[in-house]
Structure 1
Amino acid sequence: MPVSLTIIPELDLVHIVYSGRVTPQELFVETQACYQRPDYQPGMSEVSDFFRVTSFEIGYDEMHKFTTRSNETHGSLDSPIDICLVGSTKVSEPAILMYEGLIAAKNIPIRLHVVPGYPEMLATLNLPEECLKYFPDFGHQERHLL
């Protein structure tokens, strides 16, 4: 599956791992399904991992639609949510830049952070090193950077 979501209630966040070929269908269906889960709470931070993406087949129209849905989901919150995009690569960078630009243009209450790895994500979200245990093993390989 190109999109895998895990809700981590102990950290009040959603961890999303993208892999392989990511299309608008997976992006829309999986993320919207997350917001319908009983353990999801509006305002949770999100961590999206792009290290394993081989292609992002998302154009401007699809990203515009996705950010419109983001605004519908997060627009009524009292304070902005933090979204960390981890592992920007040459494959994911165009989609990230498009998302970043559309979030800013639409004034969606999201603080977007593009970070190179999990140590930077922990620092950005002000989470202690012990929180790394909640993430898959591939995040642990960067423990030496903490």
Structure 2
Amino acid sequence: MPVSLTIIPELNLVHIIYSGQVTPKELFEETQACYQRPEYKPGMAEVSDFFQVTSFEIGYDEVHEFTSRSKSTHGGVDIGTDICLVGSTKVSEPAILMYEGMIAAKEIPIRLHVLPGYPEALAVLNLPEDSLKYFPEGCHTERHLL
């Protein structure tokens, strides 16, 4: 599946792994389903992993719609939401840049962090290094950097 979401209540965090060819259908369906789960709490931080993406079939209109949905989901959070995007590649970079620009333009209370890997995400979110145990084994490749 191109989009896999896991809620990690112990860290107050949503972990998303994108892989293969990501299309708007998967992106919209999976993220909206996550926000409907009872264990999801508004304001939870998010870590989105782009290391395995081979193509992003998402253009301006889809990013515009996605940010509109983000505004309805995150807009009521007073403190803002931290979203860490790890593993940006040439494939995912255009979509990330559009998302970043639209978040700013629509004044959505999201603090977006584009980071090279998990150690940086844990640092930004002020999580201890043993937090990595809650992430899938494939996310542990940078453990030596912690």
Work out whether 1:126 is the aligned partner of 2:142. Answer: no
Q: Report how far residue 79 of structure 1 moved.
A: 1.1
| Counterpart Cα distance in 2 of 1:134 and 1:127 | 12
Matches of residues 49-88 of structure 1 in structure 2 within 5 Å? 49-88=49-88
Length-normalised TM-score, structure 2? 0.99
- Name 1:115's counterpart in structure 2: 115
Give the Cα–Cα distance (whole angstroms) in 1 for the partners of residues 16 and 66 of structure 2.
Answer: 15
1:48-95, Cα deviation, whole Å (9 max, x unpaired) = 000000000000001000000000111111110000001000100000
Partner of 1:99 in structure 2? 99
Deviations 1:71-123 (A, max 9, x none): 01111111100000010001000000000000011000000000000000000
Equivalent residue letter for 2:60: Y
Q: Percent identity?
A: 79
Query: Which residue of structure 1 lines up, in the alignment, with residue 15 of structure 2?
Result: 15
Structure 1 unaligned spans of 5+: none
RMSD (Å), alpha carbons: 0.5
Runs of 5+ unmatched residues, structure 2? none
Aligned partner letter, 1:58: I
Moved over 2 A (4+): none
Looking at structure 2, the residues matched to 13 and 60 of structure 1 have their Cα atoms a distance apart, in angstroms, of 27
Match of 1:31 in 2: 31
Look up the equivalent residue of 1:122 and give its one-letter code.
Answer: L
Q: Give TM-score scaled by structure 1 length.
A: 0.99
What is the distance in 1 between the residues matched to 2:92 and 2:143? Answer: 24
Give the Cα separation in 2 of the matches to 1:64 and 1:77. Answer: 20
Name the CA distance, whole Å, in 2 between partners of 1:139 and 1:121.
Answer: 12
